[in-house]
Structure 1
């Protein structure tokens, strides 16, 4: 059976009932709220031959980079074998197969082709957008969505998600004014759109508009945090604004509460926990047992070897918790990854492995080694994914390592580099003051 939705896309094996569940799952996925897996399971139960139901479920288990979810996604792909599918659906099937093989760039290209032929396929756009994020394809974060915009209008379901994704792509390409406008428009259309909310937060982080960022995040937290599986990352953004102001007590309260209070072991949540604690660690803040709880969450996942960006954040926790054996296990896993031929081999070889070694050196007090390892990575760090805001951790670690190594000229130069965009930042001023005695002594 073939049925069409409100975007004039056809679906093989679907019924009116199953399509309703599917559209609900799509909306939940677009906003990062509620339980899209339960909704898509309902769609599959209503129509077991619903090809895109199985494919959406596969994406939901692949796009969080959770190691334990990969077998579920593999089962979803296997379920589609022999099912009737149109050309658009076959494009999705092929993209999922490539993701399962670790070929994220190829998957992104396949989804690009689907979107070119079917610019209203919002799932192809969203899955492709996230693939672009994971491989560090900054240009396509913007342009994949920009290509589809002319085919859309505000009255179409999911338009807010298109604006939110475009906002994030614009921000990552430093088009801040347009990014903020698009993101705000998306949130106005759908206040629960967590991706759009976060795109505007990224703009304010990049422009160091700290008071604006706090006001933006605190204006309506119920909309973006209620029953949201993206809420930890959004609370993390609020914590970064408070950290920029040096409001350590507020940052720790956010960490102990909405960021890590529930001890989530979702990979994306633990990345935020590690990243926030590492920033506090660089400032010499006493973190008590906080590192241990995050390291405990990483322990069973850190040797999955499926995404170098995850490895690095696990190692931050292991350095903070003083677990050299766990660091050694990650490094051993990375050595095995380097024998492969998927995209994570490149992520690991180019950025993940040397960055892991740099973090290990920092934890051992070998700050000259940290500097040596980090300096070549800054201009290529985007190759293993993440956002500009997340990768700023490399710069902050390099500055701190240079200060501790007594490399005063480098530390001064790196701080001066931050002044045009963050000259009014309390953190920047603090780092510059730490450089001054070194410069005078020289």
Structure 2
């Protein structure tokens, strides 16, 4: 008892505040990527259904504030909601971006991607390509050789050099292997230079025909000389002599006091005008030019040097001088079987305006430029001209892309007659000339 009395009173133990500790729940299993995607799609579907249903007409409880995600909620649900909210803002920022990448996407006109683009001089050489073909492709790509006749003559001249330096492998005939050897040369000329013109295609087809009819027993050097001679005959008969006949026919359409209008620069039109001046016919010439090539400046220099009175204008000034023009002479890149003229861009505008004023439109075209194809527009097949040189102080808007198609198509209704080496013919007679002369078949 004494011990109990003498024992000091103990302090009361402090009471524990708050609820008793609970057990930590086990971590939820991680969802796979497919399961997270499925859950996100369900959430989006539920939101879209709620938005489509609209507000309910029945009275219901007051709207509750959006509940914050609890700590126990899986992290992907919060990320999904943030991703859905941030998606419109990302789309807006992408569409309104003005960086160099966006400007490049705006400027890249995919609908014109099939046009023949100007080639760069750094085109790689693959295979056994003759140096003459490499040099010619470089001249084509830099537009140092321009014009259907000039390109065709340059191509055939390069093939003459190639044939003379060609060596037939042993146990193989020249007529069989030369055809195989020419194919990569032609492919490189088209891929590294410019798209093949109708005149070049007809000339190459004629050369292949001459190779195919070679006698297999003919000595190699004799066969080479024969092919080079046939190339010379093609240039002489189908280009040189044909141009001379066209010049004589044009003399009958140019009289004293006439004002002849021509567009850009055509070699056969230039020769016809010089021939008329040498025939002592007093006439004047109006030369119409346009960018980006500006070919008419060379024609202007040639005509003025010969003493022919010449006026130089650009295409927008054409309506102001058409009332004084008596004849329009135009060149041709190709003439299709439906009578449509494929020529330098701007030719269709000149022909249309001349016909609307009642001025005769004559097209000077050799028959080897005739094509058995049909063309209804200049969009299906065309070529892009090189971009014009910019002055140091000129600046283009960031969203402006300069597109310069090289050719356009003139309908036959705007052409009065076609001057060829077989005479003056209407555009509708082109198919008969093709079938009668065996064009495009190598004969």
TM over 0.5: no
Q: TM-score, normalised by structure 1?
A: 0.23
Under a length normalisation based on structure 2, what TM-score does the superposition of the two structures give? 0.23
Q: Which structure dedicates a bigger proportion of its chain to strand?
A: 2
Larger radius of gyration: 2
Indicate the structure whose relative CO is greater, using CA pairs within 8 Å and at least 6 residues apart: 2
Flag the structure with higher helix content.
1
